[in-house]
Structures are given as structure tokens and as C-alpha cells.
Chain A
Amino acid sequence: MDMHKRVPRNIHREKVVLTDWRHTVGRVWHYLAAYRWRLGIVFLLTIVTTAVTIAGNRINGIVVDRYISHNKLHLLLVVCAVLAVMYIIASILTYFQNAIIIKVAQATSAKIRQAVFTNLQRLPMRYFDTHDNGDVMSRLTNDVDNINTALMQTFVQLFTGIISVIGMGLAMLILSPLLTVIALLSTVATYFFSKAIAKLTQKAFMTQQQALGSLNTQIEESVSNKQLVQLFDHTAATMQTFGQTNAQYTRAAFRAQALSSIIGPFNNMTNNLAYVLITAAGALSILTGGHAITVGIIFTFLIYLRNFTGPINNVLDLINTLQLSLASAERVFELIDESPEQDLPTAQPVAQTTGHVAFEHVSLAYETRPILTDINLVANPGEVVALVGPTGAGKTTIMNLLTNLYPLKAGRVLLDGQDVTTLRRQDLRRLVTVVQQESFLFTMSIRENIRLGRPTATDAEVEQAAKQAHAATFIEQLPAGYETVLSENAHRLSQGQRQLLSIARAFITGAPVLVLDEATASIDSQTEADVQAAMTALMQNKTSFVIAHRLSTIQSADQILVIKAGHVIERGTHQSLLAQHGFYAQLYASQFDD
């Protein structure tokens, strides 16, 4: 009857493995407990409304037997009036029942979402490196949605279903055991038929799913690489392979769907048969002089029948949906339980630094694989340190340790002589500004994006920073200027412009230590000069670490560290390194010479 409460009826129930469902249910309850009184009311309302339905149907039969058959018009009208009032009240109660549960469910899922998001803020960088964004997103969205649906619909429906089945079953049994058996038979037949069909179609459904997977992969790959398909004149071959998979999918899907399309009509038939049997058996029983069954009882049964088979089949589906939701809840709680990065209990607040940085015998490993080995370096306040080396040598990783993004295996990183792991992370990160190769820009105005560097900055300070970063010119040329809202991932800006914005953001922090990850060659050359000038300006009066790709940066550095495979293999100034005729000289020759 409910149009917005449809439960997907999969005849192939997904197999769910729950590690500890009691524990998960307990944790969901922890969120629900605040609403236990309201839930109690819902519980009572459900019982009342279901009872009204069952009683109402029975009264219909009684009306037929006692009043209509015995010509009691006055009583007939009175009872009907009472019935009408009962139904109106029940409808209002149903409304409240649904409204309460919706509010509770929405509030609970909002709370859960909040809890997940809060923990996500605290997770260590390692978590984001090792987890697929798609998977985390799916937990945050689909899985939380599943919990919401379970609370809002499945739960109530399941409860109503069980009460209806028990209540109606009892009522039917009391009225007529014979007719009850007939009604039950049809239900049992429906259940076993669905199961048998499910078993028959299982293989076809699996083939269908596999073919669908390969169909989707082929669509995805060929469409995303359309240019390649065209360039290599591969369209005909692609279409042929696709045609085969497509036909294979259709065959499997037809085998599966044609068979399962019988389930609906079959259920319809069993219902109709039960309808006949109840009418006929009832009629014959009356004709053969039995007093157990009356026309009114037949009437009641015919209505019960329409309300009985539905809930029983529903209950089985709902239990499965509930299991799926519990699995979702488990995945969400996993994310809530991920251990956050935590400052040491003794962590020191720190507000200022001279900018003296030292790395002492620093090593880092991921599982057993060494990433950095015995890194040593000292940077005095105001110095520029350049890190050069092949891609993947570990340059960025070294710099990540300065802001305590990853735990060390051995050694110490010191800021003003203090081990950075003993400092409060937030304080440390406010003292060290990082400009990544691709700093992230958020969906908000350019002004707000720059201000993220220091939330207390005034509008004038933001504009000043943009000027310093050579970004003011292009910003002012935009129709909405500083108020231009960047679309997701800021695709409207060029890579160079995005970089200028992130430099502006770095300017506004005013932090004494700077880490600059220079973009590699493919930055667009138009703004190249702007970026260079902005970076040079940004490095003024700061201790700066530059992961360098540009000769001008490298030549002016106070010291250069050459990194290869996680080791510092050479160090010195540009001139002294060239004189060594080592790896640096070779790298320089290949990169900047021919």
C-alpha cells in the first residue's frame, strides 16, 4: 500500500558476512538511545494501528453475519460509524508513527555522519595515502544512507509485518483452522516457488553480472580513450568485441529474467487459488450444514488473505535488507574507529620559531620497505635549502616529516632544537607553511580560499597577499574579482593561476618556515615568470626548503641536497657539486644541457 516505502525485492539475496552483529546493533542503539522514549511511542502506535486493521477486518465479517443477515439496520449504522472513527484515528496515529520515526532516523544519521566526518579530520596522512577515496566516500554516503533507510523504513515495516502476521494468524486460527491452513498453504507455496526459481536462475544471474561487469569496463575504457580508439583505427575491432559481450549479456539476462518474471504471475495465481479455495471450502462447509463457518468469516478471510501473504514475504526480504544495513553500519563504524593522529600527552604549545631546522639520522619505512635512510641536514634561519633528485627519490617525503605528517622509524627532526614530535601538531603546522605542487582549492570564493592561510586576515590583507603573489592582476580581470567562486577542483583556472593562488595563501600565513614544492615543467609558460617571481618573494626572510626543478632556484640556494632512493648522496652548493662531477653534474647535464 505504501508508495514511498518500497523494499527492493531481490530474489537473489546478497550473502552478507557480519563479523559481530550484536556489537554493531549495540553501537547503533548507542546513537538511538537518546530517543528511546520516542521509539517506545512508535512501538505502541504500531501495535495499536496494526490491531485496528486486524479488528476492523473482523468487524466487517461480524457486520455481515449479525446485522445485515439479521436485518438490524440501526446497529449496523452504529457499528459502521464506530468503525469509521476507528479508522480515522488509526490513520492519524500512523501519521505520527511515521513522522516520529523519520525525525529520529534523520537525526541519527546526521549524528553518525558528523561522527565519521569528525574522525576523518583527525586521521593520519597515512590513512589517506593507503585508502581509496572512492571507498571512503561510499562509506560516508551510501553506507550512512543505508543505515538511514534501515531506521526509517525497514525497521518499522519489519515490526509491523511481524505483528500483522502474528495477530492475523491468531485471529484466523480462532475463526477457522480449516481456512487458516488453506491461507497458509498458498503462502508456503509462494515462498518455495520463489526459492526454486532463484536456484534455477542463480547461474544465469551470475553470468549476467559477470557479463555486465565486462560490458561496463569495455564502455568505460573505450569511451574514456575515444581518441586512441580513433587514432589507431580500432573502432571496428572494439565494436566487434563489444557486440559479443553485449549479446552474451542479453542471453544470460534473458535466461535469468524470463524465468524470474514468472514469480509475479505465479504469486498472483496462488493468491487467486487461495481465494477460490477459501470461498469454495467455506461455501461447501456451510452447505454441508457446518456451523463453524459463516459468510462473514469467509468475508473476513478474503480480506485477511490480501493482507497476509504480502507481509510474510516482506518479512523475509526485510530481514535481508536489515542485514545489509548492519554490514553498512559495520563499515561506517570501522571508519569511526580508525585511530586518529594524536599529540603526545606532554606535547608543548609553541607560538614562535627562529626558523632553525635540523634533521638528525632520520629514517622512515613503510612496513618493511625503507623509504628514507639516515637523512641529516641543518638549515639556519633565513637559509634556502634545495632538494633535487629523480622522481620518487623521497624529496617530498622528507619535507612531510618536518610537519610531522608521518611517524619516524629512527632519528629526530628538530625545530629550534625541539623534537617536532613533542610539539602540538597544530602549532607546528602553523609555523611551517607548505606550498604543494598542486595545492587544493576549495569550492568557495577566491578571497576565502586565500584567507584559509590565516582565518583572521582582513580583506585588505588578502588583497595585499594576492599582490605579493602576482595573482592580483588575473583575479581583478575576472568578472567577479575576489568574489569569484571556484568551481569544484577549480577547473576554470589555469594550473599556473591555481599555483599563484596557493602562493598567495602561503603569503598570508606569515610563517617563518617555508616548504615549496615547485611544479615540474608542464606548468604553462605564460605565468611561469609570475610564479618564479612570486616564489622568490615568498622565500624572503624565511627558512625555505625547495623541492626544485628550476635552475634559477637551485643556483641561488645556500645548500643543495641530492636525493636518490631515500639517501642523501651529494650535498653542497651548485658550483661545488658541479666540480664533484658526480650524480648532480650528470643530472644537471641531462636536464639543463643537451
Chain B
Amino acid sequence: MFQIMMQHIHGKTRLAFFLAPIIMLGEVFCDLQQPTLMAKIIDSGLAKGDFNFVVQHALLMVLFAILGLIFGASCGTLGSYASLKMGEALRQHLLKVALSDRQPGGLEPATLITRITNDVTQMQNLVMMVTRGLVRSPMLLIGGIVMSAIVCPDLAPILYVIMPILVIFLVVIVRRSVPLYTQMQQSVDTVNRVMRENLQGAKTIKAYVLEPHQMTQFNTDNQHLQQASQQATLATVWLSPIIQLMLNLGVVLALSYGGSLAISQTISTGQIMAFVNYMIQITTAMVQTVNIITSFARALTSATRVNAVLAAEPAEQLPVATDTVPSGSQVSFDQVTFGYQQSAPILNQVSFELPAGQWLGIIGATGAGKSSLINLLTRRFDQYTGTIKIGGVDIQQLSLAAVHHKVAVALQDSQLFSGTVRSNLTYGDQTATDAVLTAATTTADATFVTQLPKKFAAPVEQGGKNFSGGQRQRLNIARALVPDRDILVLDDATSAVDQTTNAQIKARLQQTRAKRTTIVISQRVTNVMDCDQIMVLTDGKVTALGTHQAVLQQSAFYRQLVQTQLGDDAHGHA
């Protein structure tokens, strides 16, 4: 954990990080002087009636108080600086790793987001704690014990009795409560799940009159939660009375035992008072130390989670990779096999040749490997065997930038970024002119943009919520057209667009077909049937490849699709 922290603490930040706890020692030292000085005022000043002594020592106490403030404030400032700078560097690093991650089967986006936001904040708090609390409380604790032993060695045994008992109680209570809190968390999760499902499945619940069933279910879970949280909280309820009691008993012992010693003139009243004050300081410091250890454990989990993200950091690119974009735009796959497990490859020996300017239609069931094929072509994942070439060049010889300057993709999931229509359309080419944007929106049938009050400057909310699904898909296609790449991939990109519009978009795309190599992925026969080549993917294997007529002959699966989607009478069509 400290490794991650130190990796993201550089230069000035490092200085602040190490200086802060040292300065903290100053504050602790000043705090510990107070009861001793007070004892001196009571014993020497009062007893001897020395007015000047009292004033001098009081001024000394004031001086220590002010010094304490200076030390404390400096430590706080340096600590905030170190923790915030560390957080900044860590966030930057994590986002970079997250965005460049090209491992298949990596962390879910939701998980990544939590790690970059919440977990980094936890780590930030940890640095703050390390620089301040981790020094202050234990040092006050130790310093308090040492000082009280110095000021009043006769009473010190009281501490040796009280402290171990207190520690044992704390350990027992905390250890007993941890499994109970885990149980409580499980109950909380269950209740939350039932509630969430109840909201998500509201319509199903009404349709099947499941209300009574849901009520019974919730009733049971809610009762479990009530019991579990009662048990967990009750387990820790002893904590504060015990700490309070130990402290109070310590005071009573100091008074009775100390008092008897004072009566026999062994120690003074001031010493007893100082001792009692140190004891209060020690107990407070002890509670704080326990708190810090608890939050430390929490931050430790965060550190582990952050570490898991960093572990995915990609190796540097191969030195042979070139940024030169190949001139040709033919695409070929030769014996390409890809999969997480050897036994069940997602793509199995896929081969095809797509000449420049031609259209390839890929059809197959969900999970047949259609999207994986595109992921490999765009070098999202590199863990495959076989060869993939663009313009006759092995894509492993090309840099990522070179590949992405050759291939534009419109994904099925048409996500927009918050900003403006323009910032979304120019995502692949920030220098695109309005003329280019207009041409792209016309081709993609996204001309509704020109009817918006602000046209290209129209705002886009997070997730593109202020546009309909169909509008988003059309903007998504336009976005892929703006950079004007030689190869275009439409990955089921028109599923929410109605058939008439779909046909129009296709027609306009085909007007430029001589120029652009196009790959269309779809589950609709109509979307692929007039491509130059149609590929049927079944369980990662190419089961048919050729024109519509040829594939109709080769593939029973394709024939069946044509029949269910086009009807009996459409059999010989196209």
C-alpha cells in the first residue's frame, strides 16, 4: 500500500509528506508540557507563595499553546497538500490505465469508476491520516504514559493496571463485533436487493399479482435485518461505558492511593492533578488510535482495489510498431483464433479476404463472436493467433493510432458524451468543418440536428438523455463518418432506427461505396443480404461465406433466418 502511495508522491509533495509528521511531533510535545507546568504552578508556585513563579510558568504555558497551534496548523497544511497532490497523481494514473486497458475480461466500468473516485478519496484520507493522526494519537498515548511516569512515578503503576484491562476489553469487543457487522451487511444487501428488484420488476409484479408474495419476502428479510443490526450494534454498545469506567476508576485510584501518599507527604497535590490530567489525555489518545486503526483497515481495502487496477497497466508498445497509416484499405483475416480459454475459443480459425471498397456482412447469433472480430480488427485485444492485415500490413506492425486512423466504428450501444452535438460529432476529428459535419449528418439521416435551436451547438446531457434512442444511433453513425476513415464498421448500429430510414442510410452509404471498405454486423437478414460477401458466424466459426445466393445454399442456419424474418414467399429473393 505504501508503495502505491510513494509512487504517486513526488518532489515537493514528498517533502511535505515527510515534514508533516515531524512537525506533528512538535505539537504533541507542546501538548504534553501543559499538565507538568500546571503541577509546578500548584506545587512550587502556590505552596511557596511565589507570585513571579506562577506568572512565569503561566506565560510558558501560553507560549507552548501558541507554538502548538503553529506546529499543528503547519502540519495540517502540509498534510492536505501531500494528500491532495497524491490523489491528483493517482487519479490521473488510474484513468490513464483504465482507458488504455486492452485486456479481455478486465474490470467492469462501474467497478473501475468506484475505484477511481471513492477509493482514491479513501487513499487521500489515508495520507492525511498518516501525516497527522497516525503520529499524533500514538505519540500522545506514549508521551502521556512517559510524562506521567516522570511527573509522578509513584502513581504510574495505576496506568499499568488500567491500560492492559482496557486494551483487552477493546480487543474482545471489536473482535466479537466484526463478524456480526459482516452479517448485518449481508442483511442490508439482501433487503436492498429485494427493494431494487421490486422497482425494476414493478410491471411484472403487477401483471402476475405478486404483491402478496413480495410482501412476505420483504417481511422476512426486513426482520432479519432488524435482528442482525441489533446484534451488531449491541455488541459494541459496551465500548463507551467501559472506556469511561476505566478512566473514572483510574481517577478514583489516583485520588485514593495518591491521596494517601500525599497525606504521608510522599507526593504533592499538584502531582496528583497532573497525573489525572495525563490520564484523560491518554484515554482520549487511545480511543483515537483505535479509530485510526479502524479507518486504516478501510483504507487498506481501498489500496488493494486501486492496486488491482494498476496491475492492468499495459506494457509499452512494441518498438517495431509504426505510426504510418497503410495506404491500402483491404482487410484480411488468416486463421484467426481468439478466446479466454483454450478449450472454448470465441473465434475459431476465422479467415476471409475483403477487397478495398467492398462490403462484408456478418450475421450470427448473440455470442457467435461478431463483436470479438471487430475488437481484434481495432486492436482492442491482442491475444489471438493468426494474422490480421489492413492494407496488406499486419496490424501488429501498426501503432494503435495508425489502426484507429484507418478504421472507424459505429457501435451498437450508441453512447454520447455530455457536451454539445458538435463536441460529439468531432470526437474522432477535432478539426472537422461544419461542411463535413453537415455531410455526415445528412448521410446518417441525422438532419434533425439542423432543426434544433442551437444546431451543432445544441447541448447533449450526460448519456445523451435529451435525445431519443433512434436519434442517438443516427448521431452515433454520423460521428463515425466525420473522421472519414477508409474502413467503416457498423456493429449492429441501426437496431433502433426504423427499417425505412435504415434503408435510406444504407443507400447513401453505398453512394460512396467505391471509396470505403465497409463491414456490417447485424442479426437482420435485410441488412446484410446485398453485401458483396456475407459471412455466417456460428460459435466462433465461419460456417458460410459468399454472396446471398451462395450462403443460402451453404448454410441451413441462414436459410432458417431468411425464412423466419422474410417469410416463406421471400425464399428465392434478392
B233 within 8 A of A: yes
The answer to whether residues A264 and B76 also contact, given A67-B259, A272-B68 and a CB cut-off of 8 A, is yes
> Given A102-B234, A224-B109, A295-B42, A1 and B92 touching (CB < 8 A)?
no
- Of B54-62, B160-168, B329-337, B451-459, which binds chain A? B54-62
Minimum CB–CB distance from B235 to chain A (whole Å) comes to 10
B201 within 8 A of partner (CB): yes
Q: How far is B200's CA from A128's CA once the two chains are assembled, in angstroms? A: 9
Is A17 part of the contact surface with B, judged by Cβ < 8 Å? no
| Alpha-carbon distance A586/B92, docked complex (angstroms) | 54
Contact, CB under 8 Å: A223 / B98: yes
Given A261-B80, A495-B366, residue A455 in contact with residue B213 (CB < 8 A) = yes
User: In the bound complex, do residue A68 and residue B262 qualify as a contact, i.e. CB atoms below 8 Å apart?
Assistant: yes
Task: Determine if B233 and A102 form an interchain contact, defined as CB atoms under 8 angstroms apart.
Answer: yes
A113 touches B222 (CB 8 A): yes
Nearest-neighbour CB distance to chain A for B422, whole angstroms, equals 14
Question: Would A276 and B367 count as touching, CB distance under 8 A?
Answer: no
Instruction: Among B49, B245, B560, point to the contact of A87 (Cβ < 8 A).
Output: B245
- Chain B residues touching A, range: 35 or more
Min C-beta distance of A538 to chain B, whole Å: 15
Q: List 10 A-B contacts (CB under 8 A).
A: A76-B260, A91-B242, A121-B211, A216-B117, A223-B109, A299-B276, A302-B38, A403-B207, A496-B366, A524-B523
In the complex, A120 Cα to B27 Cα: how many Å?
Answer: 55
Looking at A280-288, A360-368, A470-478, the stretch in contact with chain B turns out to be A280-288
Question: Which segment of B384-392, B437-445, B495-503, B511-519 sits at the interface?
Answer: B495-503
Interface string of A312-333 (1 = CB under 8 A from B): 0000000000000000000000
Are B280 and A283 interface neighbours, CB within 8 A? no
Q: Does A185 contact B (CB under 8 A)?
A: no
Mask: chain B, 191-233; 1 = CB below 8 Å from A; 0 = not: 1110111111111111111110111001100110110011001
1/0 contact trace for B472-510 toward A, CB 8 Å?
000000010001000000001001101110010000000
Choose among A73, A122, A269, A550 the residue with the greatest number of B CB atoms under 10 Å from its CB.
Answer: A269
A2-B240, A102-B233, A525-B365 as given contacts; A238 in contact with B272, CB under 8 Å: no
Pairwise interchain contact B565-A276, C-beta atoms closer than 8 A:
no
Instruction: Considering the complex, give the chain A residue whose CB is closest to the CB of B204.
Output: A440
Cα distance A183–B529 when bound, in Å? 88
A422 within 8 A of B: no
A541 proximal to B (CB < 8 A): no
Partner of B284 from the list A1, A434, A586 (CB cut-off 8 Å) is: A1
Does A585 have its Cβ within 8 Å of any Cβ on chain B? no
> Smallest distance from the beta carbon of A53 to chain B beta carbons, Å?
8
Bound complex: CA of A112 vs CA of B69, how far in Å? Answer: 47
Selected interface stretch from B151-159, B246-254, B297-305: B246-254
> Which of A33-41, A252-260, A408-416 forms part of the interface with chain B?
A252-260
Which 8 residue pairs across A and B have the least CB separation, nearest first?
A265-B72, A261-B76, A440-B201, A524-B366, A80-B256, A280-B58, A272-B65, A232-B428
Write the nearest CB–CB distance from A528 to chain B, whole angstroms.
6
Complex interface bits, B555-574 against A, C-beta within 8 A gives 1, otherwise 0: 00100110011110010011
A-B contact sample (8 more), CB < 8 A, given A295-B42, A295-B269, A405-B206: A1-B247, A223-B99, A223-B113, A234-B428, A238-B99, A280-B54, A283-B42, A452-B208
> Is the Cβ of B255 less than 8 Å from the Cβ of A63?
yes
> Does B92 lie within 8 Å of A230, measured CB to CB?
no
CB atoms of A299 and B417 under 8 A apart:
no
Select the stretch in A24-32, A136-144, A170-178 that faces chain B.
Answer: A136-144
A212 shortest CB reach to chain B, Å: 9
Interface set, chain A 428-451, CB cutoff 8 A to B: 429-430, 433-434, 436, 439-440, 442-443
Residue ID in chain B nearest A255 by CB atoms: B80
Q: Are A68 and B272 touching (Cβ within 8 A)?
A: yes
Contact indicator B109/A76 (Cβ below 8 Å): no
Q: Which residues on the A side are within 8 Å of B200 (C-beta)?
A: 133, 440, 489
Which of A93-101, A348-356, A379-387, A565-573 makes up part of the contact surface? A93-101
- Given contacts A110-B223, A216-B117, A505-B208, is CB(A230)–CB(B249) below 8 Å? no
Q: Is B2 an interface residue (CB 8 A)?
A: no
Answer yes or no: B135 CB below 8 A from chain A CBs: no
Tell whether A225 is near chain B: CB-to-CB under 8 Å: yes
Q: For residue B54, which residues in chain A have a CB less than 8 angstroms away from its CB? A: 280, 283-284, 287
Residues of B within 8 A of A140 (CB): 195
Q: Is the CB of A87 within 8 A of B249?
A: yes
Q: Is B19 an interface residue (CB 8 A)?
A: no
Among B4-12, B339-347, B349-357, B401-409, the stretch that binds chain A is B401-409
Q: Which residues of A contact B199 (CB under 8 A)?
A: 120, 128, 133, 136-137
* Given A227-B380, A295-B46, A3 and B62 contact (CB-CB distance below 8 Å): no
Contact check, A590 vs B462: say whether CB atoms are below 8 A apart. no
* Distance of A88 Cα from B245 Cα, bound (Å): 7
> What are the residues of chain B within 8 A of A495 when measuring CB–CB?
366
Give the A-B contact count at a CB cut-off of 8 A. Answer: 437
| B269 in contact with A69 (CB, 8 Å) | yes
Do B252 and A80 have beta carbons less than 8 Å apart? Answer: yes
Chain B positions 247 through 289: 1 when the CB is less than 8 Å from some CB of chain A, otherwise 0: 1110110011001101100000100110011001001100100
Contact partner, B269, options A68, A128, A237, A273, Cβ 8 Å: A68
Nearest B residue to A279 via CB reads B38
Residue in A266, A442, A495 whose Cβ sees the most chain B Cβ within 10 Å:
A442
Query: Which residues of A sit under 8 angstroms from B417, Cβ to Cβ?
Result: 221, 225
A60 at the B interface (CB under 8 A): yes
Contact B99 A229 (CB under 8 A): yes
Q: How large is the interface on A (under 10, 10 to 19, 20 to 34, 35 or more residues)?
A: 35 or more
Q: Does A210 contact B (CB under 8 A)?
A: no
User: A279: shortest Cβ distance to chain B, in Å?
Assistant: 5
Contacts of A81 in B (CB 8 A): 256
Given the contacts A141-B195, A272-B65, A390-B498, A452 and B213 also touching, CB distance less than 8 Å? yes
**B116 at the A/B interface (Cβ < 8 Å)?**
yes
Q: Name the contact of B69 in the complex, choosing from A253, A268, A390, A521 (C-beta under 8 A).
A: A268
Q: Which of A390-430 contact B (CB under 8 A)?
A: 390-391, 403, 405, 426, 429-430
Contact of A1 (CB < 8 Å), options: B100, B233, B243, B252? B243
The chain A residue sitting closest to B85, CB to CB, is A250
In whole Å, how far is B159's beta carbon from the nearest beta carbon of chain A?
A: 17
- Specify which of B34, B80, B238 is in contact with A257 (CB 8 Å cutoff): B80
Interface status of A195 (Cβ within 8 A of chain B): no
**Are B113 and A287 closer than 8 Å at their CB atoms?**
no
Please report the C-alpha to C-alpha distance between residue A117 and residue B366 in the assembled complex, in whole angstroms: 37
Chain B hits for A226, CB < 8 A: 98-99, 101, 109
- Flag if A551 contacts B566 (CB, 8 Å): yes
B149 is an interface residue with CB less than 8 A from chain A: no
Which of A7-15, A241-249, A370-378, A459-467 contacts its partner? A241-249
Contact A403 B252 (CB under 8 A): no
B113→A224 contact, CB < 8 A: yes
CB atoms of B400 and A121 under 8 A apart: no
In the complex, which of the residues B249, B365, B409, B415 has the most CB atoms of chain A within 10 Å of its own CB atom?
B365
A residues near B69, Cβ cutoff 8 Å: 262, 265-266, 268-269
Least Cβ–Cβ distance between B277 and chain A, in angstroms: 6
Task: Name the contact of A299 in the complex, choosing from B210, B273, B526, B573 (C-beta under 8 A).
Answer: B273
Cβ contact within 8 Å between A258 and B62? no
CA distance A111 to B51 in the complex (A): 66
Which of chain B's residues have a CB closer than 8 A to the CB of A122? 211
Flag if A3 contacts B262 (CB, 8 Å).
no
Please tell me if A196 contacts chain B, counting CB pairs below 8 Å. Answer: no
Instruction: Compute how far the CA of A84 lies from the CA of B252 in the bound complex, rounded to whole angstroms.
Output: 6
A509 at the interface (CB under 8 A from B): yes
The answer to whether B241 touches A239, judged by C-beta atoms less than 8 angstroms apart, is no
- Please tell me if A118 contacts chain B, counting CB pairs below 8 Å: yes
A110 touches B367 (CB 8 A): no
Q: Does B87 make an interface contact (CB < 8 A)?
A: yes
CA A44 to CA B529, docked complex, whole Å: 84
Is A71 an interface residue, CB under 8 A from the partner? yes
In chain A, residues 260-313, which have Cβ atoms closer than 8 Å to a Cβ of chain B?
A: 261-262, 264-266, 268-269, 272-273, 275-277, 279-280, 283-284, 286-287, 295, 298-299, 302-303, 306
